[in-house]
Amino acid sequence: MLTITIGISLLVYLVVGSYAGRGVKKLDDYFVAGRRAPTLLILGTLVASVMSTAIFMGEAAFTYDGQLGAYLLFPGIAVTGYLIGALFFGVYLRRSRAPTVADYFGRRFQSRALQQFAGFTIILGLGGYLLIVTQGAALLLADITGISFAASLGVAWLGYTVFTMYSGSRGVIITDTLMFLLFMGATIVFVVYIVDDFGGVSAAVSDLTRVEGKEGIASWTGIIGEGTSWPTALDYVIWAVVVDAAWAFVYAVGPWQASRHLMARDEHVVLRAAIFATFCVIVLQMLVYAIGGFINLANPSITPSETVIIWAAQSLVPEMLGAVLLTGIVAAALSSASTFLSLVGFSIGNDMGPRPLALTVNATRKIILATSVLVLVCCYFFPPNIFWFMLFIGTVFASSWGPVGMMSVWSRRITKQAALWGMVSGFFMNVIPATVDYLGWYSMPEYYPPVIGTVASLVVIVVVSAFTRVTREERVYQLRLHRPPASDIDLGKLRTTLLAPLGLIAYGVTMPFLLLHYYVIPYQIATGEISADGSVNWDTGEALISVTVAMLHIPLALMAMKIIWDRYNPNTPRNKRIVQMAANSGSSKERA
């Protein structure tokens, strides 16, 4: 059943990718899907490109091993990067009409050297990410089908290489959306089925407090202390906040997320898709985190813990449901791999070398095939370490791209030299400390490298900008970035877009009540911390952290509504001038 289900899904992706490839006529179609993608396709590719085996295997193992409560109760700092990134970077990136994000940096600062280094980080970072998701997909296929790792690797590799190479971004975003719908639906049904078997969420939370050897798993810090990476609760909080903040930067400006905005039909699509992605990613993460921890109630000694969801799919649910879920996880891995492969291939073709290559669609396809073959070979020589490698690669982009990306839009003083050396310093001052720690030369908390890299990048940008000058070309380009397209200054589009942050407000209002009712109160009853009258004990970390969801997401949504209204309201004097200028320009062209 499982092998047949996976085989059918792979066939569907290949057929859809092949069909999409028939519409690829020029490089704009291949690189950025013709810049015509609607909200659903941008949403699908945003979520699918981040929900890989690193989530379904790596992070599920993390909550299974001891961090369930901490992961469920914290307010989702990382996902705020979607909205912040769209508001303050994504729409401006789209206005550049660059074929790649590295190309945008080159145009913004009139610097081929900066574009080359940005391309280098994409090739190295996303090439590494492509490596681990390919290995993750192969390990998954080998475990659930019984075939060898080498054969599974070949199947996984072929599964994403063929349609990515042929159809480019056009095929990637369509298949990403199909895969997103598959693993989203399968995950929801799977979690509901298992939680119902455990007697519901409240009963599962109570029972988790009595799992032998994992008594702290449902607390707001998870399992900390001797034998873990966090000696105290403060150590865990600092780690969680810094890592989440780093990932917010990744979701905001990271190449495999920001590049999706280049394909959007208009700026309203960028904003709507980003806000909907905030919902979808946090819901999927909470479902995966929850079920990863709850499976301890059925079997607290699964080894290796990365296979916890695989074990549950094979042991706790009907065969058909398990097959669909595992097919969805394979789809998640393949969707991420297709995104990474396309981005690495595009950067090799467009961003490297002393000058742009005279690319054609067929030449770019050959580059992507060669890149994919190299990754396949590397998969045999690098041991997989899914969760921690994922954290490392993500935070590299946070420190190297984050400051430069945001300042490229909002700073009038940053120069091309400062942008280049800021990105270089952010990259190496993250990688070097992380390597030193990995090799055991000096032990440091995992969050040190991204903090060191980000601070170094900011300092270098400020210092170098003080000794260099912004050119006229750089200044003019930045000014043009701040002029919204006249076609997007539209009251109908604006009203529709404002519905998305309203949904985020509804989430911020309702989630604290759900957490209190289904998590905090059952936990306090089980641990004896509930107040004498049966009400919530607000002196506990679990209760206090549950309300931080409202404190974070409601102000963020209100800020978004204000910015979106001011930016696209057709009745403001500035926007009236932009619309009038566009109308006059159109009339002039008609007369000509």
What lies within 8 Å, CB to CB, of 37 at 6+ separation is 45, 173, 263, 264, 265, 269
Least confidently predicted of 265-279, 298-312, 402-416: 298-312
| Mean pLDDT score, 10-29 | 80
**What is the C-alpha separation between 398 and 458, in angstroms, rounded?**
12
Query: How many residues appear in the chain?
Result: 592
With a cut of 60, say whether residue 591 has pLDDT above it.
Answer: no
pLDDT at 484: 93
**What is the C-alpha separation between 36 and 182, in angstroms, rounded?**
23
Q: Which of 425 and 14 is assigned the larger pLDDT?
A: 425
59 DSSP assignment: I
What pTM was computed for the model?
0.92
pLDDT at 422: 97
Q: 2-415 — its CATH code?
A: 1.20.1730.10
* For the ranges 48-62, 440-454, 555-569, the one whose mean pLDDT is highest: 555-569
**Summary mean pLDDT of the chain:** 89
Instruction: Please give the single-letter amino acid code of residue 355.
Output: R
pLDDT (tens digit per residue) in 95-110: 999 999 999 999 999 9
From residue 253, alpha-carbon distances to 337, 341, 561 in Å are: 19, 18, 21
**What is the C-alpha separation between 539 and 537, in angstroms, rounded?**
6
| Mean pLDDT score, 161-183 | 88
- Four-point Cα dihedral 578, 579, 585, 587, nearest 10: -160
With a cut of 50, say whether residue 299 has pLDDT above it.
Answer: yes
- Confidence band of 358 (pLDDT split at 50, 70, 90): low
With a cut of 90, say whether residue 499 has pLDDT above it.
Answer: yes
* Domain definitions of the chain by residue range: 2-415
3-state secondary structure of 25: coil
Q: Which of 544 and 127 is assigned the larger pLDDT?
A: 544
**What is the C-alpha separation between 154 and 66, in angstroms, rounded?**
34
pLDDT (tens digit per residue) in 200-226: 999 999 999 999 888 899 999 999 988
pLDDT at 587: 58
**What is the C-alpha separation between 241 and 80, in angstroms, rounded?**
13
Least confidently predicted of 401-405, 420-424, 439-443: 439-443
- Confidence band of 592 (pLDDT split at 50, 70, 90): very low
| Mean pLDDT score, 70-98 | 94
Helix ranges restricted to H, 379-446: 386-410, 416-438
Phi-psi region of 97 (alpha: psi -120 to 50; beta: other; left: phi over 0): left
| Helix (H), strand (E), coil (C) string for 179-214 | HHHHHHHHHHHHHHHHHHHCCCHHHHHHHHCCCCCC
Q: Which of 393 and 81 is assigned the larger pLDDT?
A: 81
* Closest listed residue to residue 101, CA positions, set 244, 336, 263, 248: 263
Percentages helix, strand, coil for the chain (3-state, rounded to 5) are: 80, 0, 20
**What is the C-alpha separation between 367 and 438, in angstroms, rounded?**
32
With a cut of 90, say whether residue 156 has pLDDT above it.
Answer: no
For residue 78, what is the enclosing H or E element? none
Helices 149-197 and 39-50 meet at what angle, rounded to 10?
100
């690319």: which residue's tokens? 359
pLDDT at 102: 94
